[in-house]
Amino acid sequence: KVIKEYFTKIHKFNVEELDKDATLKLFITYSYRDGGELPKELIEIDKEIVRSCNELLLNLKVLGSFYQGQELYEKVI
């Protein structure tokens, strides 16, 4: 009975969207964990990646983690 009641309850969370600057900062945090200065070319690439992810946080975290460790995007692609 307890399990049945647990699954019939709806848990609702209100999550506010991040603005464009915050989403870019989140992506950069995951992709450049060493905190070094970024080349301007990479910032423009990062902005395009954020736009293509539709600013969805999970997408940004996954892609940012993927690029983390890549030699500064293979020396700016």
Burial of 59: CB neighbours in 10 Å, binned 0-12, 13-18, 19+:
middle
pLDDT by residue (tens digit) across 40-61?
878 888 888 888 888 788 888 8
pLDDT by residue (tens digit) across 10-47?
777 787 778 888 888 888 888 876 666 777 878 888 88
Q: What torsion do the CA atoms of 40, 42, 48, 52 make, to the nearest 10 degrees?
A: -160
User: What local confidence, expressed as pLDDT, does residue 62 receive?
Assistant: 84
- Which pTM was predicted? 0.61
* pLDDT band, residue 72 (cuts 50/70/90): low
Nearest to 33 by CA among 55, 77, 66: 66
